[in-house]
Chains A and B, each alone.
Chain A
């Protein structure tokens, strides 16, 4: 028994050391940092202050939070509306088609996210593929100038986050016993009612985990807004990056990150409360 316990600690040691040293302590340091003062030239002064948090309350920064949340909610909603039926239908396909579809989803997932966004630049650019197509079909008369607009950013977000939603819904719907919906129909439910009361209810954990998996990264994907939105749309992510690089204000960046982190962990907490599960479906 003693020997067993020792070998178990040997197994756990790398995980413990690594997690404490490079995850737990750095995150704690971030919270500490958010109460410190920026040094005159470079680095941090260890003087306690609440100014960083007060500054987040300023309209300029509060606005970026609101903007980011709005964009994140809008993207997540669209991802949900497009991704849920996709994942659900996929789960009802034959085994061969399921495999094919998974492969088709994985291919873009495996190519660089940036490069896929670059494809959208070509599409959206003034006189780009989309403009040419629309003007060729005489739907529009002049270029739409879609690039560097809000809709372009939304498309980019939805596009990047869609696979997460599809895979979570799919893994949840795949486990669903479709005869349950048939049983509901047999008991007199309309096909919509059968779907809503049985299938949808049972795939809700997948949908919610898809929401979490889309919402969390969407708060931080500043490069999408950067590339497709030009400098017009400023998100929390961009502000944090700016404060760290150009502003050299680590404490303020830390405060922004701390608020962002609290917001997202709260979301996960709510998810766990609602679904009663601890694992995110489709993630594992």
Chain B
């Protein structure tokens, strides 16, 4: 069936609007003026300032460490959990599976509130440890649900075939099961990473005075006033995102060939 022209127009216009704030940010990142509404000519000075901003760099590194650690734990917990629950169905498993999904099914603010109160009750010092725990709770559901969906769709006889051909349980897992669920783990991690790297609401509550994540840092900067550096940072992040996505796209294409 042919797609009508006005469908394309509609999708095109909406997409264009969603890119307005992004393009504006990119353009103004090269603006000489400090006031973002006035254009005073091309300049790279905000990039220079950005690279000298120690706080921001530190926040970036913190955010990366946090996202990587949270994803790492989420992969272990989510994948093994999905595997275990798929092998043996029970009401208890269903209940735990449901509870594990809660962190992405309630407003983030609740999670932030919960962790703030629990960590202060436990007397845990706020910092990287509390951040990793909190972020892992909302990273697990992404990995868990992706892997679970993949396992449900997986042909059970593939594992049986490997067993039939002489492979032990462990070998079946590494030779057949893991390669087949790897794409699901990977897409779960991509989502979880994006969510962790971008999180403000939960991080604000569980971060300590010494540890800042990038979004928290940006948030405080935005609240305090005009900061053209943020434009430069946004442009850089956008460029990296596009490069990564195109890279992933090309790798995917090559694999298909």
CA distance A248 to B146 in the complex (A): 39
Q: Is the CB of A216 within 8 A of B24?
A: no
B68-106 near A? 1/0 per residue, CB < 8 Å: 000000001110110111011000010010011011111
Which of A47-55, A56-64, A126-134, A200-208 participates in binding chain B?
A: A126-134
Question: What residue of chain B has the Cβ atom nearest to residue A143's Cβ?
Answer: B37
Q: Is the CB of B245 within 8 A of A109?
A: no
Q: Which 6 A-B pairs have the closest CB atoms?
A: A119-B21, A220-B107, A15-B81, A11-B84, A220-B109, A12-B84
User: Which residues from chain B sit less than 8 Å from chain A, CB to CB?
Assistant: 1, 3, 7-8, 10-11, 14-15, 18-25, 28, 36-37, 76-78, 80-81, 83-85, 87-88, 93, 96, 99-100, 102-110, 112-118, 120-121, 133, 136-137, 140, 144-146, 148-149, 169, 194, 197-198, 200-201, 204-205, 214-215, 218-219, 222-223, 230-231, 233-234, 237-238, 241-242, 245, 249
CA distance A260 to B76 in the complex (A): 31
**A15-B140, A104-B15 provided; 10 other pairs, C-beta below 8 A?**
A19-B140, A22-B136, A23-B100, A86-B14, A89-B10, A116-B25, A128-B36, A129-B24, A253-B117, A260-B110
Asked if A108 is at the interface (CB within 8 A of a chain B CB), the reply is: yes
One of B1, B117, B140, B146 near A250 (C-beta < 8 A): B117
Residues of chain A with a CB closer than 8 A to B81's CB: 11-12, 14-16
One of B1, B117, B133 near A33 (C-beta < 8 A): B117
Asked if A274 is at the interface (CB within 8 A of a chain B CB), the reply is: no
A214-241 near B? 1/0 per residue, CB < 8 Å: 0011011111001100000000110011
Residues of chain B with a CB closer than 8 A to A220's CB: 107-110, 201
Q: Is the CB of B25 within 8 A of A118?
A: yes
One of B114, B133, B149 near A30 (C-beta < 8 A): B114
Q: Is the CB of A221 within 8 A of B194?
A: no
Q: Is the CB of B24 within 8 A of A29?
A: no
Q: Is the CB of A122 within 8 A of B36?
A: yes
Min CB–CB distance A261 → chain B (angstroms):
5
CA distance A25 to B19 in the complex (A): 42
One of B37, B133, B241 near A22 (C-beta < 8 A): B133
Q: Is the CB of B107 within 8 A of A114?
A: no
Q: Is the CB of B249 within 8 A of A103?
A: yes
Asked if A264 is at the interface (CB within 8 A of a chain B CB), the reply is: yes
Min CB–CB distance A271 → chain B (angstroms):
11
Q: Is the CB of A11 within 8 A of B99?
A: no
Residues of chain B with a CB closer than 8 A to A26's CB: 114-115, 117-118
A–B Cβ pairs within 8 angstroms, 17 of them: A11-B84, A12-B93, A15-B77, A24-B99, A26-B115, A30-B117, A86-B14, A116-B21, A119-B21, A122-B37, A216-B105, A223-B219, A237-B201, A241-B204, A257-B110, A261-B106, A264-B105
CA distance A219 to B121 in the complex (A): 26
When A11-B83, A30-B113, A220-B108 are in contact, do A227 and B222 touch as well, CB less than 8 Å? yes
Q: Is the CB of A27 within 8 A of B136?
A: no
Asked if A270 is at the interface (CB within 8 A of a chain B CB), the reply is: no
Asked if A69 is at the interface (CB within 8 A of a chain B CB), the reply is: no
Min CB–CB distance A172 → chain B (angstroms):
15
CA distance A43 to B197 in the complex (A): 30
CA distance A182 to B2 in the complex (A): 12
Question: What residue of chain B has the Cβ atom nearest to residue A19's Cβ?
Answer: B100
Asked if A73 is at the interface (CB within 8 A of a chain B CB), the reply is: no
Asked if A66 is at the interface (CB within 8 A of a chain B CB), the reply is: no
In A101-117, the 8 Å CB interface with B consists of 101, 103-117
